[in-house]
Every structure is written in structure tokens, then in C-alpha cells.
Amino acid sequence: MAAWLLLGGSTVLLFLGLPVAFSFLVINLVGAWLWLGGEPGLTQLARNSVSSVMSFSLTPIPLFVLMGEVLFHTGLAVKVIDGIERLIAQVPGRLAVVAVVAGTVFSAISGSTIATTAMLGSLMVPVMLARGYHPTLATGPVMAIGAVDMLIPPSALTVLLGSLSGISISRLLIGGVVPGVVLSIAFVAYIIVRVKLNPALAPNTELTRYHGFERFKPLLLYVLPLVSIFGVVVGAMAAGWGTPTESAAVGAFATVMLALVYRALTPKILMQSLKGTVAISAMILFIIVGATTFAQILSFSGASNGLAQAITGTGLPPWAVIAGMMLMLIFLGIFVDQVSMMMITLPIFMPVVQALGIDVIWFGVLFLICMQLGLLLPPHGLLLMTMKGVAPPQVTMLHIYRAVVPFVLMSLLLLAAVFLVPAVATWLPALIG
């Protein structure tokens, strides 16, 4: 009864269009009144809500968000694109390849899927279309690499997943590196092969050629210093020199310092970056309040244990249970956003994962890939809507749907590879113990 009311009620409210945080606030109030003892339950709900966002482990979220906000508001992202574009020459589908490589770099220094897609979409898609690129080739790689942002640290959603599931945040962040890089390489290979087979998709236009130091100048001045921040953040966590919070603090400080060195950080831009950070972080923390208290009410009512026992009692092997979970996540990704996916499923999935003795890092990376898929799945994938919002008018939703199909298939292949070979996700986190 409790499971049906809490899970069913939250799902109905989400499908009706009520914002995530408010959907779970309503359900939490009802659940606290019914299963935590009426008015005393509401008081306990308030106490639990405060304690849920006072965890030190959540500190990386605003710091990672700040890194991305400074990067985009200062315009350093444009410098990165220029640096990468000068290096890549005589490659089929050159601009699409540049978009993927640049998006991978942004993933390593920002971790905002929407920001990456919106920025690359607004900057590069019009240029590609003007040079005769087919709309599907112009938009597909941008959306696909935007979704990869979720896998490559720093990623606020990865921190959120780790905090809600109880999985080690540092190991989960590092676990996404290899799958994310593999997916980026696969995207580049696909673009090159497809354009070689059909050159009309990306006409080979005459471009400005740079020689000597001019070709490498933006790379040395902008790309390498910014990518080095990723090396410091991930390296510190991998070597055990710092916690995720400490590593995120170093990354945020280094990003701000670089912006000052480049004379790109004005008081106005700093204020814009801080306002954006506060708005996004407040939204995430509000969601954490709802998710944490929701999980507590599920547990107190007995719904979590009941569902976990029902699943484990089926006698299915662990791999079949995990496969079923992944299919459910992919299905949910068609209809709801990534945060809603976490809030609906984690209170049920995690007790099952722990009861079956499944590697939580492996499970966490599989969960991330499923959420990444959800960003790209028609008809309501968030990055599909983002692309439609920033692309020129001649790009239709049909173009966008067709463009994303090959990249969804590649993401599904990656999901299968990580499922069948867990070491793809676990060997790097294992280095940090």
C-alpha cells in the first residue's frame, strides 16, 4: 500500500507536469502525516530536510557548477573551440569532429550537459549549416557529446547520484572517465566513416590555414591550461591526495584564477557566474531535500524493504535483476528527467543492489549511462529540446530525431559493453582503493 501510494503518487504528479521538487514535497508531506505520526511526523520531516543538505559531501556540487559558469560567461569556451579547430585539418566532417573534441574538453572542465549543448549548438551549428553540412550531421554530434558531459568529471549529477545512493562520490566520478572517453572516440570514428561513405553530408570547403606557432598558439594558451584543471581535479581524487570537495575547491579556484590571468573575469561576469551558481545549486539542494526525505519515508513505511525482498525473492540471478533495472531506467528516460529517475528508483534499487552483493561502482556507472541515454531519447529528451531552442529555424524536430539515432545506438552499445565487462567502469576507481 505504502509503495503504491508513494511511488505511484510521485510518478503521477511528475507526469502531470508538476516540478520535481514540488512533486516530492507533496508526497513527503502526505507520507510523513500517514507513516511518521501526523504532526510530530511533519516536525521530523523538517528536521530530516535540514540535515539532508548539511552533508559535507554535497559541497562539490556548487563548486563544479561555478567552474562551468565562469567558463561560459567569460567566453573562454570560444577560445577552446578555436584552439581545437586549428589543430584538426583534412579530416572528413571536420567541424563535426571539432564539436565532439571541444565538447569532450568542456565535459572535463564544466560538467553541465545543457550548457555544453546550448553553447556548441548556438556557436557551431549555424557555421556548419552555412558551410553545407546536412542538419543531421550538424546537430547530432553536438547533442551526443553534450550527454557525455554526465560521464566525464566534474559532473554535478554524478555527485547527486553518489549522495542519494550512498556510493563513493570520488570513485563514481572517476568510474565515468573511461566510458565517457570511449564514447567520445566512437563518435569521432562514426563521423569520419559516415562522411567518407557520403561526402555530401559535409562538403570540404576552403578554410583558413595556420602554420607554425599560430596553429598551436590557442592550444598552448587556452586549451592546455584549462584541461590541466581536469587533470588536477581527477588526479587529486585518483591519487588520494584530496577528497572530492577539496579537489572541486582547487578546480574552482584554478578556473577563477585562469579567468583573471586572461583578463576575462570582470566584476559583472563574476556576479553573473555567482548568481547562476546559486540558482542551479539551490535547485539541486532543494531536490536533495525531497529525495532524501522520500527515501526515509519509504524505508520507515516498510515499502523499500518489502519491494527489495520481493525482487530478491524471485530467484533471478543478479545479472538479470540489473538488466531489468537498466531497462526500467531507459523506459523512464523517455518520459521523465534524470533527477526524477534517481528519486523514483534509487530508494528501491539500492537495497536490492546491496542485498545481492553487486559492485555499487559498476551499478552507478550503468545508472549514469542510462541517464545519459535519457537525455537523447525521443520525443522529450532534454538535449533534443535544447538543440531545437538554439538551432536555426531550418533545423526541424524530424532532423533532430534522425540525427540522434546513431548516437543513441552507440550509447546502448557502451551500456552493453560495461554490463558485460564491468572492468571498463571499475578498473580506474580501483586504483584509488
Q: Which pTM value belongs to this model? A: 0.76
How many C-beta atoms lie closer than 10 Å to residue 297's C-beta?
27
pLDDT at 47: 67
From CA 164, how far away is CA 70, in angstroms rounded?
27
- The predicted pLDDT at position 109 comes to 66
State the 10-residue block means of pLDDT for the chain, 433 residues long.
Answer: 59 64 70 69 65 62 80 78 77 87 76 72 84 91 86 80 84 90 94 92 72 76 81 75 80 88 88 84 69 64 60 78 88 73 81 88 94 82 80 88 94 95 90 68
First to last CA, the chain: 41
Q: What's the pLDDT at 1?
A: 52
Q: Which three cell numbers stand for residue 244?
A: 572530492
Residue 88 CB burial class (10 angstroms; 0-12, 13-18, ≥19): middle
Report helix, strand or coil for 415: helix
- Quote the DSSP letter at residue 391: S
Give the dihedral of Cα atoms 112, 118, 120, 122; nearest 10 deg: -160
- pLDDT of 88 reads 78
So where are the chain's domains? 57-430
Q: Write the CA distances from 46 to 34, 84, 277, 286, integer angstroms.
A: 15, 50, 25, 13
